[in-house]
Every structure is written in structure tokens, then in C-alpha cells.
Amino acid sequence: MNLNKFLDVNAEVAKAIEEGKPVVALESTIISHGMPYPQNVETALQVEQIIRDNGAVPATIAIIGGRLKAGLTPEEIEYFGKKGQAIHKASRRDLAVLCSRGEDGATTVTTTMIIAHMAGIKIFATGGIGGVHRGAETTMDISADLEELGQTPMMVVCAGAKSILDLGLTLEYLETKGVPVIGFGTEELPAFYTRSSGFKVDYRIDTPKELAAAFKASGDMGLKAGMLVANPIPEEYAMPLDVINRAIDTAIAQANEKGIKGKETTPFLLAKVAELTGGDSLASNIQLVFNNAKVAAQTAVELSRM
């Protein structure tokens, strides 16, 4: 374990890592920026319970008072949920300043990977990853998540990339970075709210044991890139493609009209899509996170046996 001087590993998480038991990292942006209080806290605690129910130890990642936290207490999750969007959304570029100032930060996919990797955690469950934004050929708006996947050896279980993105370019970028995109039980990249996108993944794998074996092989070879597992939203919670696409197109047009750019883009688009779908997209979002937590925990259990 890398005992970074800014890092605090929760006692339960540290013990599990030391004993080679399965641990799954979770992000904290979904708590602070993903949904309102108290739904955010309830959802975060439910996700942790799903991981426990499937045999692994949850480690919610965050920055509190300038300390990198690998594993939060229920009280810390409550604190995050109540403070909400007043907490800084922290990507790689923000870590040094937030820690030196003793501030709080909600971790994105990027920063969750960084902190979890420091702690020795290998598997991370999230909702969807960031990617190449539509129009990136002129705006250069590309999520730091893709760069992190190219340099941090961690398995990230998600429901694909959010369909507010350019999914074709996102896959091209991941290929350039040497990141395998694996469909869990599917040959098609899921698009967050929907099970299909029209884009093929690199490989289809059908069991957590096979996922663990592929990830272990990558580590044994010393490959530095991460591995992206795209796990489709359960069919009963998926949204019709035309409904979600219509909402996304409207949201993107409104973001352009308002001149919203950079890290404000994704939170604005997701909130607007939730509004336009009457909250259906938020309900889908919660269910896909639950599903990803389950697959990540089962895979972490298999990896711990290898």
C-alpha cells in the first residue's frame, strides 16, 4: 500500500486490502452533485450495502479537509450529502490545491481512480464515464476520465459512456490509450440510460470470473492502462432511445445557448435531461449504479481468489 502523506485509508478498508479481501471503490460526485439530499445519502448507503451483500468491502472515495479519503463513514457520507454542490467537483488538476488548502472535494471517475490506486484498490464501480464531448473537434472538450483510464491500472465498471457524448470518438480515444472496452454480457456499448448505442465493444465477457481473469492477466503483464467494463442498465429500467435522445438534443441546444462550457457541461446536461424526462432518467441512473456495484463486487471476490 502506498502510504501517501495526504491519504487516509478507513480502518475496515485497510484491513481488507492487507488481508487480500475484495474491495470496491465508489465515487463521491454522485453524492454531492448527482441528486438532492436526502436521496443522495440514501442511494450512497444502498450502493455500499449492495457491495457488502455481494461479498466485498465498499470504499467511497472523497477529499475532506484536504485529506484524500479511501473509505467514508456513514457520518462522512451524510456530511457530503448535506453540503451537496457547495463541495468542489475535483478532477486531477484540482487535487494539489484542494489538499494544500485543506478543502473538501467530490471525486470524479478520474480522482476516484487516483486515490483508490494509491490505497491499493483495484476495482471501481461508477455510473458512466466521461468521454469526448460532441463538437470536441473544435472545443477540445475531452474528459480527463479517458486519460486516467490510459495510465491507471484499475478496472472501472460502468454503464458505458453517457449518451450526451460522442460515443464513436470516445471509443477511438480509448483505443489510442490502449484501454480495452469489455461488454459484460453484450457486444454493444451501452449508452448509460439505454442498453444499446450502435457501437461495438472490443470484447464480450459473460461472467465475473472471466472479468477478473482478464484484469489479472493485464496486471501480471505489467500493462499500465485500466480496463473498462461496460455493464448495460437492467432492461426493466432502460429508457426508450428516442425519448432520451430527444431530451439530450434539447439539453445540448440549451447549454449552447447559455454558453455553458467545461466542467459545468455534464452536471447541466444531466439535470436538464432529468427535468425533461420527468425524473425518469434519475431513477434509471440509480438503478444502473446498483447494477454496476453488484458486478464490481462479484468480480472483486473472484479476483481475490486468484
Q: Which of 99, 121, 143 is where one domain is finished? A: 121
The reply to whether 237 and 281 lie within a common domain is yes
Residue in 122, 162, 272, 294 annotated catalytic: 162
Supply the pLDDT for residue 2: 47
Q: What percent of the chain has pLDDT over 90?
A: 75
The reply to whether 115 and 219 lie within a common domain is no
Supply the pLDDT for residue 12: 98
The reply to whether 46 and 110 lie within a common domain is yes
The reply to whether 156 and 251 lie within a common domain is yes
Beta carbons of 23 and 16 less than 8 angstroms apart = yes
Per-residue model confidence as pLDDT tens digits over 180-221: 999 999 999 999 889 988 999 999 999 999 999 999 999 999
Does residue 133 register a pLDDT over 70? yes
The reply to whether 103 and 251 lie within a common domain is no
Grid cell listed for 255? 447549454
- Report residue 108: phi and psi, to 5°: -85, -175
Q: Which of 135-149, 220-234, 282-296 has the lowest mean pLDDT?
A: 135-149
In the chain, the number of structural domains is 2
Burial 162-181 (b: 16+ CB within 10 A, else e): bbbbbbebbbebbeebebbb
Per-residue model confidence as pLDDT tens digits over 139-184: 788 899 999 999 999 999 999 987 778 999 999 999 999 999 999 9
Supply the pLDDT for residue 275: 85
Residue carrying the nine cell digits 484542494: 98
Supply the pLDDT for residue 242: 83
Q: How far apart are the first and last CA of the chain?
A: 19
The reply to whether 105 and 142 lie within a common domain is no
In the residue annotation, 264 being an active-site residue is answered as no
Which amino acid type is present at position 110?
A: T
Per-residue model confidence as pLDDT tens digits over 12-56: 999 999 999 999 999 999 999 888 899 999 999 999 999 999 999
Supply the pLDDT for residue 217: 98
Does residue 248 register a pLDDT over 80? yes
Supply the pLDDT for residue 3: 54
The reply to whether 285 and 177 lie within a common domain is yes
Supply the pLDDT for residue 228: 98
Cα(249)–Cα(123) distance, integer angstroms? 33
Closest CA to 56 of 94, 9, 24: 24
Judging by beta carbons within 10 Å of its beta carbon (0-12, 13-18, 19+), is residue 57 exposed, middle or buried? buried
In the residue annotation, 162 being an active-site residue is answered as yes
Cα(70)–Cα(129) distance, integer angstroms? 20
For CA atoms 49, 54, 55, 57, give the dihedral sign. negative
Supply the pLDDT for residue 212: 98
The reply to whether 137 and 105 lie within a common domain is no
Cα(235)–Cα(3) distance, integer angstroms? 42
Beta carbons of 283 and 237 less than 8 angstroms apart = yes
Does residue 259 register a pLDDT over 70? yes
The reply to whether 193 and 302 lie within a common domain is yes
Instruction: State the angle between helix axes of 280-304 and 39-53 in degrees (0 to 180), rounded to the nearest 10.
Output: 30
Per-residue model confidence as pLDDT tens digits over 59-103: 999 999 999 999 999 999 999 999 999 999 999 999 999 999 999
Beta carbons of 84 and 116 less than 8 angstroms apart = no
Q: Which of 55, 87, 121 is where one domain is finished? A: 121
Q: Which of 68, 88, 121 is where one domain is finished? A: 121
- CATH number assigned to the domain comprising residue 179: 3.40.1790.10
CA angle 89, 95, 96 (to 5 degrees): 145
Supply the pLDDT for residue 135: 79
The domain of 277 spans 126-306
